Structure 1
């Protein structure tokens, strides 16, 4: 009787690992197809840092950005997202980047609050970061000033 239980538990663990591996493969394959579709559509990949920053990178955080997600029609519950953002800069631009943290928080809230819960649940961390990087690029271009950091990354993300 005990051997049957052990074999059953081992079988459940192996099947669970196989399902998790398959899901990971499937989701990563979907990202590759999306990239191929963008390439075929003639979209240029996101520009990397145009000018070379000097020195080792510095990382600044924008802690606890709380966002209320957009409700779907008929949805009566409120959904929230909490994110900690990390921006990559260099020694020379770190001071200016620190001064821009309130603006970065505002742009992040404005960008992410447009997401419906269903969309937010299906997005990957890289997709959130890409959306925020596009929004920051647009905000700095609109203001006509140079962006004092190279990219934004997600340090923590909670969707409820």
Structure 2
């Protein structure tokens, strides 16, 4: 009779240890579920809802276009750029605006008036995005923004 509580405690302990061992085995041996593109898209959308993007403007970037042979006049382009970033990198993007202006001028000043006049907004954005990617890669730094968009474009 005195050993009965000890036997009950041993049985209960054994059952609990078996249950914990079974749960651990199930957890480690269960099949791994690979995320589908839909699951990844939903997760990205959820992140976007939690942390909406921030936009930083760089206005009035004036660029003198390269002259073509025989052209004696000056041709200019004015462009407003908008950088898409996140909340934590917004300040860094603002601090980089002078450098970003310089890279945009260097990239776009290589265009002739004829070339610039035949380009779409998407092509301008692609050109500037590539220039920024190359610039940050050359400096071995991470871009504080995900993309640059054209807010306004005037070619004179």
Fold shared per TM-score above 0.5: yes
Cα distance in 1 between the residues matched to 2:89 and 2:56: 11
Cα distance in 1 between the residues matched to 2:63 and 2:142: 27
Cα distance in 1 between the residues matched to 2:123 and 2:94: 24
Cα distance in 2 between the residues matched to 1:110 and 1:122: 19
Is 1:89 aligned to 2:91, yes or no? Answer: no
Report the counterpart of residue 121 of structure 1 in structure 2: 117
Report the counterpart of residue 97 of structure 2 in structure 1: 101
Report the counterpart of residue 33 of structure 2 in structure 1: none
Cα distance in 1 between the residues matched to 2:73 and 2:93: 36
Any stretches of 5+ residues in structure 2 without a counterpart?
1-46
1:76 Cα deviation from its structure 2 partner: 1.1
SS of 2:94's partner is helix
Cα distance in 1 between the residues matched to 2:135 and 2:108: 14
Spell out structure 1 runs of 4+ moving beyond 2 A: none
Query: Which residue of 127, 130, 137 corresponds with 1:134?
Result: 130
SS of 2:111's partner is coil
SS of 1:74's partner is coil
Report the counterpart of residue 73 of structure 2 in structure 1: 77
SS of 2:154's partner is strand
The number of residue pairs the alignment matches comes to 110
TM-score, normalised relative to structure 2 = 0.68
1:96 Cα deviation from its structure 2 partner: 0.6
Report the counterpart of residue 64 of structure 1 in structure 2: 60
SS of 2:150's partner is strand
